[in-house]
Amino acid sequence: MPDDGRIERAIARALGPRGRMSRRSFLRQSGRGALIAGSTLTLQSILAACGIRPGGSTAASPGGPAASDATGALEWANWPLYIDIDDDGNYPSLVAFTEQTGVEVNYTEAIGDNADFFGTIRQDLQAGNPTGWDVITPGGWVIERMARLGFLEELDHSQLPNWTANAADYAKGLWFDPENKYSLWWQGGITGIAYDPELTGREITTFDDLLDPAFAEVAGAFSDMRDMFGLTLLSLGVEPENATVDDVTRARDKLLEANARNQFRGYYGNEYYDALAAGDLAISVAWSGDITQMQLNDNENVRFVVPADGGMRWNDNFAIPKGAARIGGAHKLLNYYYGVDGATTLSEYIGYFTPVDGVQEEILARAQAYRDEGSTDDADYNEILAPTVVPTEEQLANTFNDKQLTEEEEAEWNDLWLEVSS
C-alpha cells in the first residue's frame, strides 16, 4: 500500500502555507477569522485529523535501540495557530531550531480536539505500533491517560538542560504528570468569560452573568465538555477536581435550563472568536490568549475576566508517543523551546502563557529595540503583550484544574454532556 505520510507531505508541499502572511501582519490587515479558515481547512490538516499519518513511521520499531536514530524530518502534531509564522509562510522559531541543530521538522496542524486526536492514534498505540508522530502537544488529561496506558516515552531530563534552567515553577509538577516524567508544558491559558461592554451594557463578573436572560441569543458557549462543565460546576460552588456525577448532573440541568430559553447562539469551537470580534456575540466563554490577540488586532473593546466563582486553568504539553522514530531529535526540540530566545519568538505571536522564565523580560527588551529602530507599532504591540504571557498570582489562585476522570466517569460525563450540546 502507498505510504500515507508521503502522500500527506506531498500535498502539504503543494498546497501548504507558502505565501501566508505572519500572524501579526495578517491579523492587523484582515482579521483573525480568515487566517483560521486558511489554516484549519488545509488538506494537510484535514488528512491528519482523519488519521492519515506522516511518513517514516513504519521504519522504526517501537522501543528499539535505533528508535532515536531514524533519519528524516521530525514529525510534530500541534494545534492550529499555535506557532509563529512570518510573511513568507515560514515558522521563524523552527527555522532557527533547524539552523542550530540540523534537525528538520515537518510541522502539522493535526490536533483540532483532544479526544478526536487521541482517537486517531490510540489503536496504533494499543497494538504496539508507532503513530508516525515524534512530538505531540495535547492537553493535560490526554497526557494522564496516555501515561497511565503506557503510551508515552519517558523523557530523558539530561537532554533537557534548558527546562532545568528556565522552566517556571507554575509549569512544573502538574496534576497529570507530577514528576514531569512524560511531558513538558508547551503553552497554557485560562478558560473564562469575554464580553464587549458596549453590547452588554454592564460589567461581567460571574459565570451566571453569561446566563442572564438579557443576553439570550447573543451569548456563546463552548463545545468542550470539560470547559463548560468546569465553569458551571464552579458557579455551583463545586471544584471540578472534586465533582461527583451528581454534581455534574446539576451542572447539566443548569445548562439545559439555559438551552430551553435559547440562551446560547451556539456551542462553539475556535469559531467563537469571529462571532465575538464581529459583535455577533455580546458575551462568550473564551480562552485568555485569544482575547489578548483580539484586543490587539480585531476588537479592542472586548474584555476577558476570570469569573469570581473561578475559571478553568489548562495547558497543552509536549510529549513523545511510544515508539517514536526520532526520540533524540524530539528531545532537542523540547529543549530548544525552553530557551528564552525561541520561547520569546513564539510568545510574541501567539500570546498564551509561556512556561519559560525570562520571556516577559525579553519581550520588553525587544519592544525597546523596536522603539530604538523607530518601529513604534511593534514596540507598542510588545509592551501590551508582555504582561499577558505570564499568569498572575491572582489568576493562579482563582483557577482550577480538570477532574482526573476514570474511563467510566468520562463515559458518564460525556452522556450528560450530549444531552446539553445536542
Q: What is the model's pLDDT at position 5?
A: 40
Is-same-fold flag (4-188+316-383; 190-313+393-421)?
A: yes
Q: What is the pLDDT of residues 293-314, one digit of tens each?
A: 899 889 999 999 999 999 999 9
Q: What is the model's pLDDT at position 7?
A: 39
User: What fold is seen in the domain 190-313+393-421?
Assistant: D-Maltodextrin-Binding Protein; domain 2 (3.40.190)
pTM: 0.80
Q: What is the model's pLDDT at position 98?
A: 97
User: Containing H/E element for 304?
Assistant: strand 303-305
Instruction: Name the percent of the chain lying above pLDDT 70.
Output: 83
Q: What is the model's pLDDT at position 394?
A: 85
257 within 8 A of 250, measured Cβ to Cβ: no
Residue 15 CB neighbour total at 10 angstroms: 11
Mean pLDDT of the chain: 85
Q: What is the model's pLDDT at position 54?
A: 52
223 within 8 A of 115, measured Cβ to Cβ: no
Instruction: Name the percent of the chain lying above pLDDT 90.
Output: 73
Please state which of the four CATH numbers 3.40.50.720, 3.40.190.10, 3.30.70.100, 3.40.50.960 is assigned to the domain occupying 4-188+316-383: 3.40.190.10
Q: Whole-angstrom distance between the N-terminal and C-terminal Cα of the chain?
A: 39
388 contact partners, CB below 8 Å, separation of at least 6: 288, 289, 292, 351
321 burial via Cβ count (<10 Å: 0-12, 13-18, 19+): buried
Q: What is the model's pLDDT at position 81?
A: 81
Domain boundaries along the sequence of the chain: 4-188+316-383, 190-313+393-421
Q: What is the pLDDT of residues 9-19, one digit of tens each?
A: 333 333 332 22
Q: What is the pLDDT of residues 15-52, one digit of tens each?
A: 332 222 333 333 333 333 333 333 333 434 434 444 44
Q: What is the pLDDT of residues 78-126, one digit of tens each?
A: 998 899 999 899 999 999 999 999 999 999 999 988 888 999 999 999 9
Q: What is the pLDDT of residues 210-258, one digit of tens each?
A: 999 999 999 999 998 999 999 999 999 999 999 999 999 999 999 999 9
